[in-house]
Amino acid sequence: MTASTVIWRFRTATEPWTSDRSLAELAALTLAQGGRAALRTWTGSGGDSHSGDGTAAVPDGVAYVHGERHDLWWEFTLEASFRWQAHLCRLRPDVYRQRLRRVTRALGLEEVLQREVASLTHGTRALADLAVALMQKPRLLLWEEPFYYMGRDEALRAVRLVEAEHLAGMTVVAVAREAPGLADLPAEPRRPHLRRLRAAQ
């Protein structure tokens, strides 16, 4: 299939790394090199931009998720894996609890928190990897092959949460080379629906 890219730039962001050119460069680097290598190159160049004093001007909160690879500990329960990731990211306990409640509810993971990661389906593990990334409330999500293991319902839940996080201030760069591509990710987030959803929370 043809490689595809979707970029959701947070509309009011003004930092140099949020420019259309900089985000397009990150997407192109990811398609060429893979996400981790692309982030090293992109952040090393300051996201194609620099601050006034010549230092790199890239976001502090960058989250990377690869839909074909799972980063959770298989022998842990899902909740224990989340707690360990929160510890590594130095999330405050109150922030962790708040974010855990939000992302697990949105992704439909509440009922599987006490199950070992190894017992979960590929699609559920893909949602859990996304949950870990979003728990940190990143300013930029680089999402590579997001729907590789997800079924349609799982992809829908993932997209709705990412749309909500985008509305709250997160920029999204998604790329895919493999089927099913980015067919489940709209070119523009569905903002009116999310305003109602956010108001109800």
Q: Residue 27 is part of which domain span?
A: 4-200
Each residue of 147-199: pLDDT tens digit?
999 999 999 999 999 999 999 999 999 999 988 889 999 999 886 554 454 54
User: What whole-number distance in Å separates Cα of residue 137 and Cα of residue 63?
Assistant: 9
For 5, residues 6+ apart whose C-beta sits below 8 A from its C-beta are 24, 27, 28, 31, 173, 174, 175, 182
What DSSP assignment string belongs to the chain?
---EEEEE--TT--SGGGSHHHHHHHHHHHHHH-HHHHHHHHHHTTTT-B-TTSSB---S-EEEEETT---S-TTSBHHHHHHHHHHHTT--HHHHHHHHHHHHHHHT-GGGTTSBGGGS-HHHHHHHHHHHHHHT--SEEEEESTTSS--HHHHHHHHHHHHHHHHTT-EEEEEESSTTTTTTS-SS--HHHHHHHHHH-
Closest alpha carbon to 42 in 68, 21, 11: 21
Average pLDDT over residues 19-31: 95
Q: Grade residue 53 by pLDDT with cuts at 50, 70 and 90.
A: very low
Angle at 55 between CA 51 and CA 61, to 5 degrees: 80
What CATH number should be reported for the domain holding residue 167?
Answer: 3.40.50
Number of domains in the chain: 1
Closest alpha carbon to 177 in 145, 155, 149: 145
User: What whole-number distance in Å separates Cα of residue 30 and Cα of residue 72?
Assistant: 22
Each residue of 137-150: pLDDT tens digit?
999 999 999 999 99
pLDDT over 80 (residue 200): no
**Model confidence, pTM:** 0.86
Average pLDDT over residues 95-122: 96
Q: What is the pLDDT of residue 51?
A: 36
